[in-house]
A and B are shown apart, each in its own frame.
Chain A
Amino acid sequence: MNERLLFWFALACYAGASALTARRLQRGSPEGTLHHASLGLMVAAFALQTLAMLWRGQHLGRCPLTNLFEVQVFIAWSAVLFYLLIGSSYRVSFLGAFSAPLVAVVLAMALLAPIDVPARTPDKHSAWVEFHAAIGILACGALALASVVGAMYLVQERQLKSRRPGRLLFLLPAVDQLDVIGFRLLLVGFVLLTVGMAGGVVSQRIVEPWPWPKTVWAVVVWCWYALLLGGRAMNWWRGRKAACGAVAGFVFTLASYWGATWLAQ
């Protein structure tokens, strides 16, 4: 057995949790057996993924963030980590139901795309570089979950606006709760992103050549979220606009990171 097999097992668990979500949607059951089974699968998948990442890290002798595959796996892992932390504290069980398919897709993309190749110009081994990369990806996890919450907001808002809400209305939290959770996740993600970028500036002397595409990418992403948070804090936009911003922000972050990484290579 190698660590890729463990990743596949984790993916199977996330896919199972997604299937249970679909079943829950169909049945309209708010809690109960399906919810517990789905949560169990998420926890199992998280444990398997953690084990696989530790295994890979031990093999590399450093934090496993050397190529696009590892980055993507780390983003999926961070999103689940934030879900496990946030989901229980806010009692929003359906957050897991929405997170599972997103995480499954991100992990499946990582496993299926030919991106698990050793980095051509591996970063020099440095605690600062690892810190910068790990915190930056943790930020992406929080921002991924913020986008999931944003999607939940849009679905719930659509239910309410339609004047003919279906079963989903009862499964999802109140729109103002989703608005608050989304804002806090964005804030956490933004703070981590800022710290990660500061780590990147400190590690500037170690990394050569300076990865301009990634730097530009990071600055654009940082500006986007700064604008989103500023607008939300000033009450210029909240609710639908903030939710759309969170979803669009994460899709852009993920897509442009792929592009920036390829350009850098």
Chain B
Amino acid sequence: MKLIVAGLNHRTAPVEVRERIAFPSAALGEATCALLGAAPLKEAAIISTCNRVELYGLAADAETAIAGMRRYLHEHHKLADSIDPYLYEFHGRDCITHLFEVVAGLDSMVLGETEILGQVKAAYAAAQHAGATGPALNRLFQKSFAAAKHVRSSTGITQGSTSVANVAVDLAEHIFRDLRASTVLVIGTGAMSEATAKALRSRGAGTLLVCGRDRERADGLAGQLGGQAIHYDDWLAEFPRVDVVISATAAPHPIITPVKLEPLMKARQQRPLFLIDIGVPRDIDGACGGMENVFLYNMDDLQQIAQENLAAREREIAVCRAMIAERVASVAAWLEQHFP
């Protein structure tokens, strides 16, 4: 008996192909049962996310089973063209390694992302609920979840965001212990300030104030993110209660300077202040970053950190693979013993 996987992902297939063979999450259980009927498999499970579709199975004859899986994909999705050039397949130990790397986020488009673990858990639960899994796949998936958690907690593979907006949120979380209690002020309503405000909001930022010269856009963004629009001339008055400032105006000169900021910091009782300057030309005088309890980052800083984080994650891959290899060997030995 052999574990096998056939599938495609963001690296082997364009989105036009991936979207054609994706399975809706509500239909995963039913689709897995259909796969068991269509291919000579003892056990089966299907993973379907926006970046990958993979069919896992336990088969006596790997070649015949893989052919059955390919046929199933064609027939189930009523495809006119062949998708064979986009498909990959792994057998035995390679199949185990592949799943472990997928679940740990090593095979993801955003290296080290953690959403994949939840997606694979849901796919496994659907297959298990449909009665399509057995001892082999149960062990394979459960061990892959444990390995992913170990890799995440013991290495830096998930550390540091790789997008500018999320880098800003990461920094905010290391300045303020509880983002829910913080107030964010967005000055200017460009695409970057919108993305950063969205990221802060999604990670729990409490109050959001939006102001811009274009009042209509400010109202729109505030409404979209559940914030409050304020008049552009009022942002200084709101400053004492603000913790994070995202500034992206088209002003030709800095709108926040040390002279302006000093009395405001006193009014804020010297609480920490996080200034995110994504305006070009810059909205915040660089000297503000030297003031006590003020943390200033501009667009270049955030981009540089995002790139460094990605490079750091890439350096962790070898360590993660070594950790995974030990656990893969253990699962492979167990399968060999119980499913010779």
Please list the residues of chain A having a beta carbon within 8 angstroms of any beta carbon in chain B: 27-34, 156, 159-161, 163-165, 167, 169-170, 172-177, 179-180, 235, 237-241
Q: Which of A156, A237, A241 contacts B174 (CB 8 A)?
A: A156
A164 to B173, CA, bound (A): 16
Minimum Cβ distance to chain A for residue B165 (Å): 17
In the complex, the answer to whether B177 meets A235 with C-beta atoms within 8 Å is no
In the complex, the answer to whether A167 meets B171 with C-beta atoms within 8 Å is no
Q: Which of B150, B177, B305 contacts A165 (CB 8 A)?
A: B305
CB contact under 8 A between A239 and B177, given known A28-B159, A161-B295: no
In the complex, the answer to whether A27 meets B155 with C-beta atoms within 8 Å is yes
In the complex, the answer to whether B154 meets A32 with C-beta atoms within 8 Å is yes
Interface flag for B308 (CB, 8 Å): yes
Give the residues in chain A near B160, CB-CB below 8 Å. 170
CB contact under 8 A between A27 and B154, given known A238-B270, A238-B293, A240-B292: yes
Chain B minimum-CB-distance residue to A239: B293
Minimum Cβ distance to chain A for residue B110 (Å): 17
Q: Which of A27, A160, A167, A238 contacts B295 (CB 8 A)?
A: A160
Chain A minimum-CB-distance residue to B300: A163
Give the residues in chain A near B225, CB-CB below 8 Å. none
In the complex, the answer to whether B305 meets A164 with C-beta atoms within 8 Å is yes
- Given known contacts A167-B156, A180-B177, what 19 new A-B pairs fall within 8 Å (CB)? A27-B155, A27-B156, A29-B153, A29-B156, A32-B153, A160-B295, A161-B289, A161-B295, A163-B289, A167-B159, A169-B170, A170-B160, A174-B175, A175-B174, A176-B272, A177-B177, A235-B269, A239-B293, A240-B292
In the complex, the answer to whether A174 meets B173 with C-beta atoms within 8 Å is yes
Give the residues in chain A near B239, CB-CB below 8 Å. none
In the complex, the answer to whether A176 meets B150 with C-beta atoms within 8 Å is no
Chain B minimum-CB-distance residue to A174: B177
How many B residues touch A, CB cutoff 8 Å?
A: 29
Interface flag for B304 (CB, 8 Å): yes
Minimum Cβ distance to chain B for residue A23 (Å): 11
In the complex, the answer to whether B174 meets A34 with C-beta atoms within 8 Å is no
Interface flag for B86 (CB, 8 Å): no
Chain B minimum-CB-distance residue to A169: B174
A159 to B308, CA, bound (A): 15
Q: Which of B175, B304, B308 contacts A175 (CB 8 A)?
A: B175
Contact with A along B141-176 (1 / 0, CB 8 A): 000000000100111100110000000001101111
Between A and B, 5 residue pairs with Cβ closer than 8 Å are: A29-B156, A160-B295, A163-B301, A164-B304, A170-B170
Interface flag for B98 (CB, 8 Å): no
Contact with A along B282-305 (1 / 0, CB 8 A): 000000010011011100010011
Minimum Cβ distance to chain A for residue B289 (Å): 7
A82 to B293, CA, bound (A): 27
Minimum Cβ distance to chain B for residue A40 (Å): 16
Minimum Cβ distance to chain A for residue B167 (Å): 10
Give the residues in chain B near A169, CB-CB below 8 Å. 170-171, 174
In the complex, the answer to whether B153 meets A237 with C-beta atoms within 8 Å is no
Q: Which residue, of A33, A174, A179, A239, has the highest number of chain B Cβ atoms within 10 A?
A: A174
Give the residues in chain B near A235, CB-CB below 8 Å. 269-270
In the complex, the answer to whether A174 meets B293 with C-beta atoms within 8 Å is no
Give the residues in chain A near B177, CB-CB below 8 Å. 173-174, 176-177, 180
Q: Which residue, of A156, A170, A176, A238, has the highest number of chain B Cβ atoms within 10 A?
A: A176
A174 to B172, CA, bound (A): 8
CB contact under 8 A between A32 and B150, given known A27-B155, A238-B293: yes
Minimum Cβ distance to chain A for residue B85 (Å): 40
Interface flag for B312 (CB, 8 Å): yes
Minimum Cβ distance to chain B for residue A26 (Å): 11
CB contact under 8 A between A33 and B154, given known A163-B297, A163-B301: yes
A240 to B291, CA, bound (A): 11
A219 to B155, CA, bound (A): 48
A162 to B279, CA, bound (A): 20
Contact with A along B221-264 (1 / 0, CB 8 A): 00000000000000000000000000000000000000000000
In the complex, the answer to whether A174 meets B176 with C-beta atoms within 8 Å is yes
Chain B minimum-CB-distance residue to A178: B177
Interface flag for B271 (CB, 8 Å): yes
A181 to B42, CA, bound (A): 57
Minimum Cβ distance to chain B for residue A103 (Å): 25
CB contact under 8 A between A176 and B176, given known A160-B171, A160-B295, A240-B292: yes
Give the residues in chain B near A163, CB-CB below 8 Å. 289, 296-297, 301
Give the residues in chain B near A239, CB-CB below 8 Å. 270, 272, 292-293
Give the residues in chain A near B270, CB-CB below 8 Å. 235, 237-239
Give the residues in chain B near A237, CB-CB below 8 Å. 270
Chain A minimum-CB-distance residue to B274: A160
Give the residues in chain A near B295, CB-CB below 8 Å. 160-161
Give the residues in chain B near A29, CB-CB below 8 Å. 153-156
In the complex, the answer to whether A172 meets B301 with C-beta atoms within 8 Å is no
Minimum Cβ distance to chain B for residue A110 (Å): 35
In the complex, the answer to whether B175 meets A176 with C-beta atoms within 8 Å is yes
Give the residues in chain B near A172, CB-CB below 8 Å. 174
Give the residues in chain B near A177, CB-CB below 8 Å. 177
